[in-house]
Amino acid sequence: ELTAYHEAGHALVGVFTPGNDPLHKVTIIPRGRALGVTMNLPERDKYSETKTEMKAKLSMMFGGRVAEELIFGKEHITSGASNDILQATQKARAMVVEWGMSELLGPLRYSENEEDVFLGRSVTQRKSMSDETAKLIDKEIRNFIDEAENHARKVLKKNIKHLHSLAKALLEFETLSGDDVQQLIKKGKIKNKDDHNNKSSGIKTSLPTHNSGKKSKNKVGGGLNPKPALS
């Protein structure tokens, strides 16, 4: 349930924040170390990002953590947003120190060139900025992060009804397409989802069928196909 609300938070902030790529899929089926995935894909090849697009992505990254907080309370937020926080911090830092998107610090590069990093360099390298500038950088990174988190909270509070319905749909169907989510938002239900799930959709199963009227060609094991592995 927590994963469903987490991914629903990502998806809704992405949908309702201009600048994000279109929602492709949201799922609560674990992938690797991730308990769920919200996937956005661009409509065409992209070679750069605008400041608006970057800020939109930052907000979407915090949609999961904010959803956990709104539904379960601050004391029950989890470590599930660790990678979201890492990516958001890295992007916000790059916006400030590499891409000149801080109005306070201007179009200057403050990060070191890391192409020739070798063991011991951190001890001998020359200091490239004052303590005052370093504090300003930290402040600007914090401003980008706070703005993103506050925007995500505003979006989800405004669309709390959609948050509940999307989380409920994820618990029922586990995986939803971008079109499914749009239908849920606009019409309150997903058209033909039940019929779609009840059909085989071309997916083969190793479970034996009943009353098929056909005899199995392979008589090994009493004619039953191997059972699927349980995970």
Helices (H), 18-130: 51-61, 63-72, 82-97, 121-124
pLDDT at 44: 85
What gap in Å lies between CA 137 and CA 145, rounded to an integer? Answer: 12
pLDDT at 222: 41
What gap in Å lies between CA 81 and CA 164, rounded to an integer? Answer: 19
Give the residue with greater pLDDT, 124 vs 147.
147
Q: How confident is the model at residue 45 (pLDDT cuts 50, 70, 90)?
A: confident
What gap in Å lies between CA 14 and CA 64, rounded to an integer? Answer: 11
Active-site position among 1, 7, 69, 132: 7
- Read off the pLDDT of residues 70-113 as tens digits, 9 standing for 90 and up: 999 999 999 989 999 999 999 999 999 999 999 999 998 887 65
- Read off the pLDDT of residues 192-226 as tens digits, 9 standing for 90 and up: 765 545 443 443 333 344 444 444 444 434 443 44
42 contacts 21 by C-beta, under 8 angstroms: yes
- Read off the pLDDT of residues 13-37 as tens digits, 9 standing for 90 and up: 999 999 999 999 999 998 877 889 9
pLDDT at 46: 81
pLDDT at 212: 41
Q: Is 7 a catalytic residue?
A: yes
* Sequence-ordered list of residues with C-beta below 8 angstroms from that of 45, at least 6 positions apart, any chain: none
110 contacts 96 by C-beta, under 8 angstroms: yes
Helices (H), the chain: 2-16, 51-61, 63-72, 82-97, 121-124, 131-158, 160-173, 178-187, 193-198
Among 26, 17, 27, smallest CA distance to 59 is for 17
Q: What is the mean pLDDT of the chain?
A: 82
pLDDT at 196: 47
126 contacts 37 by C-beta, under 8 angstroms: no
2 contacts 68 by C-beta, under 8 angstroms: yes
183 contacts 189 by C-beta, under 8 angstroms: yes
The residue whose two tokens read 């959803």 is 67
Q: How confident is the model at residue 49 (pLDDT cuts 50, 70, 90)?
A: very high
What gap in Å lies between CA 108 and CA 102, rounded to an integer? Answer: 9
